[in-house]
Every structure is written in structure tokens, then in C-alpha cells.
Amino acid sequence: MNELKKYALHEIPYYKVHGRTVPGVCPLPLFFSGSAVELNVSGPELWADLEVSWQNLEMWVTVEVNGELMSRQMLMPGTYSLCLFRGMNPETVKNVRLTRELQAMTEDEDCCLIVHGFQTNGAFHPVPKGKYTLEFIGDSITSGEGTYGAIGEADWIPMYMSYSRDYAKMTAEALGADAYLISKGGWGVLSGWDNNPNSNIPSRYEQLCGLCCGERNESLGAFAPYDFSTRKTDAVIVNLGTNDASAFQQPEWHDPATGQTFKQHTNPDGTYQEDDLNRFKDAIVSFLKMLRRHNPQAHIVWCYGMLGYDLTAAINEALNRYTKENGDHNLIFLQLPNTTRETVGSNEHPGELSHRRAARVLTEYLQDYFS
């Protein structure tokens, strides 16, 4: 058998990166859920050279060969090689994708996955671009929380978060598209589920990956401005508002370091206070302006509903206001099917069946739009 030859990533003539990164960087950090390296390679064997670090929230990845899931596993900290396949027909070209399952983690500043290169006794072949480029923006739903694990499990752990059973992956595959994700569990448009005003996606959207933290991620360029000119996005799919609805039911957030407080209030009859609801709508309008500035040609689809419809009317009102004020009609609100007792997953989040239902709705809509 031929000996394996080691290739640094920049020595490989053909490969495709999924997810936000700096084009051509080597070694390559994978920051987001769904970030991946895809290869077409011949030969009987392929290994990935990885650098992995974390303190309390472990890294999970998947390996797909020819579109089929071959493994899903936790990676231990260290620098080592991971076998992606071996013993296969050396003459055939295999499509291989190594994907980060885990969302960006502000809760563990050492949480990193870096691809240094690959080892093979075969040859690399071109990897075509997808038919479309889609960006998915969201919270724990878009991070795939609850798509693994038994119903009733309530642990908040990386093992139950995934891209491999996520509606974003299902939609992209159905459309033959490339997908970019930016998502974080518990975060919203205006604030997080706990009323923390710092936990809002728009405040980090313009950074490469402002959803992680720590000196290590900073050294990898995570907090640098993202260069939107490196891609042309055909559609931006936003799935936010679920945590903003939860904030109305939660206690006031208080920052002990600064004394800052924040709270979304309800009226005595349980309805949302108008001033606070307007604050949420303002945040949507502001975010839409940001999205359009960086994605001038993209169709914007604001999705909502996989965990309730509480803010449906408010989101629609905000989208209508944005359209009226800016003359931008290249956007739509799309209601997704609510999660039921039959489709729920772990941690009271949408399960795989719920994601499949949502993906069907979104895929059918986008197929019609692109046709």
C-alpha cells in the first residue's frame, strides 16, 4: 500500500470551505456550526490533521463520505490526525466533508477547531460550488439544539447540538446550495432569553465570528470585520424572535459590574407593553438595514414559529415598516410549523422531525422563488 503523503491545507490544489472564514487561510479555523472542509479525493485512505482545544464544552464533528454520515464524534483536546476513511477503492473519487457540529461558544474561550491539512495516498480533484449560496442566521434552533438526545433530556451540552440534523443543512442540500451559518443558543434580535441586551445577533453579525471569545479566538481573527465581498449570497434566512419572546416572561437582567439593567415587560393582562414591543420592532428594522447593506442582491426570508408564534404579528409589522420606509420589497415573512409532542427533541427543542418539517416549507418556498 502506498504511504500516506502529508499536505498542509495551502498545498492542496482543490478543496472547498463551508462557513465564514478568511479565504485561503492556513491553518483553517472552523468557527460556526456547519463550518466544514469538503474534498473530492481518490486513493484508499484519508486523514485530517487537526488542532482541537476546549475546557468545559467539548468539540463535536461529523464525517460524511459521498453524502452519507459515517461518523459523529467528540474530539479530545490536542493536535492529532483523524481518520476520515480507509480501505476504500483507490480508483474512485470520494466526496468527503469534515464538519463542525458545535455552535460558537462564548461560554468556553478555549473552544477551537483548526484544520491544518490532510494526509492521503490518493489525489485531489475539483470540488464544485453550490448552485446557490444561503446564509442562515438564528438561535438555538439554527444551532440544532435538541436534534440529538432522548425526549425529556434537559442537559445543556454539546452532544445534543448539531448541524447534521439541522433544517439549514436539509434545506441547503435539497437546493444544491452552499450554506453559511451564524447562530447562538439563547440569543435574539434585541436581547437574549434572559433579557441580557448584549446577547443579540446584530451586534456581532459584522464580525467574522463575534459569537466566540478569548485570546485564542482573537488571534485566529474571529473578531475582525467580516469581508462580505468574498461571497455573493442568494438568500439570507433569519430565524430569530424566539428568545425575544421569552425575555418578556423572564426577570430583569442585571449586570453586577456596571449596574446596568434591562427588561422587556408585559401588561397585567399578559400582553406585551407597547414601548417594549416597539423596541423589539426597531431592532428588527435596524437589523434588516444591516443585512441589506451587506447583502444587496439577496432575498431576505424572516422565518419564525418552530417554538411558538408569540411575536408573529410584531415581526410582520416590523418587516412591513422596513419595506415602506426603504422601498425594499425583496423580503418576506415565512411561518414555519410549530414543534409538536411528536416532533420535539431533547431539551424541549425541535427534534429532527421538526427540522425536517421546517426544511420542507423553506425548501418549497425557495425553489419557487429561484425558479
d(CA 124, CA 39): 7
Residue 286 is predicted with a pLDDT of: 98
- Do 132 and 147 form a contact (C-beta atoms < 8 A)? no
Please tell me whether residues 66 and 115 are part of one structural domain: yes
Please report how many Cα atoms fall inside a 13 Å half-sphere around the Cα of residue 104, on the Cβ side: 30
91 and 178 within one domain = no
- Residues 104, 142, single domain; the answer is no
- Average pLDDT over every residue of 100-126: 97
Tell me if 187 sits within 8 A of 104, measured CB to CB.
no
CATH number of the domain at 11, please: 2.60.120.260
Residues 90 and 146 in one domain: no
Distance between CA 208 and CA 216 in Å, rounded?
A: 14
Across the beta sheet with 133-138, the strand order is 178-183, 133-138, 235-239, 299-304, 331-335
Rounded distance, CA 104 to CA 102, Å? 7
Listed in sequence order, the residues at least 6 apart from 37 whose beta carbon sits closer than 8 Å to its beta carbon are 9, 15, 16, 17, 18, 28, 30, 48, 97, 98, 115
Together in a domain, 49 and 192:
no
295-343 residue pLDDT tens: 999 999 999 999 999 999 999 999 999 999 999 999 999 999 999 999 9
Between CA 123 and CA 140 the distance in angstroms is: 39
Looking at the structure, do residues 120 and 156 belong to the same domain, yes or no?
no
Give residue for cell 454520515: 69
For residues 167 and 235, state if they share a domain: yes
Pairing of strands 28-29, 59-65: unpaired
pLDDT at 1 over 60: no
Share of the chain above pLDDT 90, in %: 98
- pLDDT-derived band at 154 (thresholds 50, 70, 90) equals very high
Domain count of the fold of the chain: 2
What pLDDT is recorded for position 24? 87
Check if the beta carbon of residue 306 is closer than 8 Å to that of residue 354: yes
Report pLDDT for 2.
67
- Same domain? For 120 and 141 the reply is no
Give yes or no: residues 354 and 285 share one domain.
Answer: yes
153 and 47 part of one domain: no
Q: Using the CB atoms, write b or e for 180-195: b if 16+ within 10 Å.
A: bbbbbbbbbbbbbbeb
pTM over 0.85: yes
Q: Give the model's pLDDT for residue 131.
A: 98
Which of 297, 288, 208, 293 has its CA nearest to residue 241?
288
Q: Does 232 share its domain with 283?
A: yes
- Mean pLDDT value of segment 124-146: 98
DSSP character at residue 100: E
SS3 278: helix
For residue 94, the enclosing domain spans 5-125
How does DSSP assign 199-223, residue by residue?
A: -BGGGTTTBSSTTS-SHHHHHTTTT
Whether residue 354 is found in the same domain as residue 240 = yes
Q: Of 125, 142, 157, which residue sits at a domain end?
A: 125
* Residue 243 identity: N
Q: What is the mean pLDDT of residues 141-150?
A: 98
pLDDT classification of 22: cutoffs 50, 70, 90: confident
- The pLDDT confidence band at residue 181, using thresholds 50, 70 and 90, is very high
For the CA atoms of 292, 295, 301, 302, the dihedral, rounded to the nearest 10 degrees, stands at -50
For 40-78, write each residue's pLDDT tens digit: 999 999 999 999 999 999 999 999 999 999 999 999 999
For 205-229, the pLDDT digits (tens) are 999 999 999 999 999 999 999 999 9
Chain segment 267-292, per-residue pLDDT in tens: 999 999 999 999 999 999 999 999 99
Parallel, antiparallel or unpaired: strands 59-65 and 299-304: unpaired
On average, the pLDDT of the chain sits at 97
Pick the last residue of a domain from 88, 104, 125.
125
Residue 284 CA to its chain's centroid (Å)? 19
Which residues are CB-neighbours of 237 under 8 A, at least 6 positions away? Answer: 134, 135, 136, 137, 168, 171, 301, 303, 362
User: What's the CATH number where 180 sits?
Assistant: 3.40.50.1110
Cβ atoms 241, 186 nearer than 8 A? no
Last residue of a domain, one of 125, 157, 185: 125
Annotate 286-320 with DSSP letters as a single string: HHHHHHHHH-TTPEEEEEE-BTB-TTHHHHHHHHH
CA 231, CA 234: separation in Å to the nearest integer? 10
